[in-house]
């Protein structure tokens, strides 16, 4: 995330650069780490533009692309996704934006995420170790969310490593963050992003701000994108296009709407820019989104009623009404099976927040019906008990 810089600081900086620049321009033009403007790689640029990223100042490094100030995406992941031409356009969009189902962390990998605080973090003026401990605890405290953390003593045992941005163990692109508080890597291969880089200049003015920064960066490592990435990117067009394939090509990393969260949430932990004294806690939508991706305890859905409606002389439309206990899952799959079979012959999947689902044109006869609840990535499922009905 980026720091909101006062205008006078920017003016002062400009003056300093201008004055020094008269002596040796090259010194001030050369970047601290080798990168090129992302626009030089048309394929990558167009692709990420289609994903809705704000590519202002986007940079292409040896192994990463930096977008939106603090978000590093592994180059091999993007290239692979482009190759696969993978589509996931079924999901819509909202303020709680997440990457595609295949790019989030595997359900089984969010329990006891091992993290290590590198020695480089200690010398940063603010209490960042305290902020890391608090923020990881805050993630654990989201009710009904499976995400939990475990601090380990060695980097080799860690899933996520926290570094100061001066540490040479970081990828070159993640060092010397400049105007950002911190930066993080997206998930890859079903694992959380492997590093979080913290600005050793400690731009934060309060401990609450440092904790906010870490809560936000952990969100990135778990697959959360920035709040409201629509701005200026025509992303809305890309993601609501009814043409097949959508006008802007395939959706790979994704900026997917989670049904049930609003179209705008300015109080989300994932807003990209905030002041140095700002503290942000998880909004209710952040919490709901976290449960949708990584649910903890959840119960089997129960079919409360099956109602038949005339469809044709030989078929009926069947309305299936469900009840669930306490935690709503992100998806519900309704199935029709031959009696005592485990193989469905008809399936519909819903992400609505309602409790009524349909199977259309069900042939006359005796059938089992079943509802299964699933999380966003469909790697956590809970089938309900089958209910047998004769359609006639
Ligand atoms: Zn961010």
- Kindly give the distance from the C-alpha atom of residue 8 to the centroid of ligand 1, in angstroms, as a whole number: 24
Number of structural domains (the chain) is: 2
CATH at 185? 3.40.390.10
Q: How far is the CA of 179 from the centre of ligand 1 (A)?
A: 12
Q: Which of 263, 293, 323 is the last residue of a domain?
A: 293
Ligand 1 centroid vs 218 CA: distance in angstroms?
Answer: 9
For residue 325, give its domain range.
302-391
Distance (Å) from CA 270 to ligand 1 centroid: 6
Question: Residue 81: in which H helix or E strand, if any?
Answer: helix 75-84
For β-strands 182-185 and 71-74, DSSP reports them as parallel
* Nearest partner of 351 among 318, 376, 326, judged by Cα: 376
Which of 276, 293, 310 terminates a domain? The answer is 293
**Cα of 272 to ligand 1 centre, how many Å?**
5
The answer on 134 and 39 residing in a single domain is yes
Parallel, antiparallel, or unpaired: how do β-strands 113-117 and 149-151 relate? Answer: parallel
- Average pLDDT of the chain is 81
Q: What's the pLDDT tens digit per position in 217-234?
A: 999 999 888 776 543 233
Residue environment code for 250-277, b if the CB has 16+ CB neighbours within 10 A, otherwise e: bbbbbbbbbbbbeeebeebbbbbbbebe
In the reported structure, the alpha carbon of residue 302 is separated from the centroid of ligand 1 by a whole-number distance in angstroms of 39
- Beta-strand relationship, 64-67 and 59-60: antiparallel
Q: How far is the CA of 293 from the centre of ligand 1 (A)?
A: 18
How long is the chain?
Answer: 392
Q: How far does residue 221's CA lie from ligand 1's centre (Å)?
A: 10
pLDDT tens for the chain, 392 residues long, are: 677 655 444 443 333 333 333 333 333 333 446 888 998 887 788 778 766 688 888 999 988 999 888 888 888 888 887 766 433 322 223 346 677 777 899 999 999 999 999 999 999 999 999 999 999 999 999 999 999 999 999 999 999 999 999 999 998 878 888 888 999 988 889 999 999 999 999 999 999 999 999 999 999 999 888 776 543 233 333 343 333 333 343 344 666 768 888 766 789 998 888 899 999 999 999 999 999 999 997 778 999 999 999 999 999 999 999 998 778 899 999 999 999 899 999 999 998 788 999 999 999 999 999 999 999 999 999 999 999 999 99
E strands present in 240-285: 273-274
CB count, 10 Å around CB of 99?
26
Q: How far is the CA of 269 from the centre of ligand 1 (A)?
A: 9
* Contact residues for 12 (Cβ-Cβ < 8 A; gap 6+): none
- Whole-number Å distance, alpha carbon 2 to ligand 1 midpoint, is 7
pLDDT for residue 179: 81
Same domain as 53, residue 118: yes
CATH code of the domain containing 321: 2.60.40.10
User: DSSP secondary-structure letter at 145?
Assistant: B
Q: Which one of 293, 313, 347 terminates a domain? A: 293
Ligand 1 centroid, distance to 68 Cα (angstroms): 7
């Amino acid at each position: 995330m980026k720091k909101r810089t006062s205008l006078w600081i920017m003016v002062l900086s400009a003056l300093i650069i201008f004055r020094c620049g008269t002596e040796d321009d090259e010194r001030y033009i050369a970047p601290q780490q080798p990168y090129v403007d992302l626009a030089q790689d048309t394929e990558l640029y167009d692709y990420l533009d289609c994903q809705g990223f704000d590519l202002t100042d986007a940079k292409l490094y040896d192994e990463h692309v930096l977008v939106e100030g603090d978000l590093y995406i592994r180059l091999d992941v993007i290239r692979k996704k482009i190759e696969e031409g993978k589509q996931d356009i079924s999901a819509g969009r909202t303020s709680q934006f997440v990457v595609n189902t295949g790019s989030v962390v595997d359900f089984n990998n969010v329990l006891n995420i091992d993290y290590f605080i590198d020695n480089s973090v200690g010398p940063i003026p603010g209490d960042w170790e305290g902020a890391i401990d608090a923020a990881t605890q805050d993630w654990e405290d989201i009710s009904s969310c499976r995400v939990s953390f475990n601090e380990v003593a060695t980097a080799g045992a860690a899933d996520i490593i926290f570094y100061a941005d001066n540490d040479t163990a970081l990828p070159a692109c993640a060092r010397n963050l400049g105007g950002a508080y911190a930066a993080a890597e997206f998930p890859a291969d079903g694992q959380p992003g492997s590093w979080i880089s913290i600005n050793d200049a400690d731009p934060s003015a309060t401990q609450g701000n440092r904790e906010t920064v870490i809560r936000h960066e952990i969100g990135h490592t778990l697959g959360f994108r920035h709040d409201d990435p629509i701005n200026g990117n025509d992303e809305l067009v890309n993601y609501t296009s009814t043409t097949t394939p959508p006008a802007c090509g395939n959706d790979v990393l994704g900026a997917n709407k989670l049904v049930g969260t609003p179209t705008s949430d300015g109080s989300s932990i994932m807003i990209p820019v905030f002041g140095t004294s700002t503290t942000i806690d998880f909004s209710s939508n952040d919490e709901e989104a976290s449960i949708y991706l990584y649910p903890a305890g959840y119960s089997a859905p129960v079919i409360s009623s099956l109602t038949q409606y005339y469809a044709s002389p030989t078929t009926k439309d069947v309305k299936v009404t469900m009840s669930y206990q306490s935690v709503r899952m992100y998806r519900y799959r309704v199935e029709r099976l031959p009696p005592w079979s485990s193989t469905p012959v008809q399936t519909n999947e819903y992400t609505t927040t309602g409790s009524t689902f349909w199977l259309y044109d069900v042939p006359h006869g005796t059938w089992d019906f079943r509802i299964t609840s699933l999380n966003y990535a469909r790697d956590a499922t809970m089938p309900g008990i089958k209910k047998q009905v004769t359609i006639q």
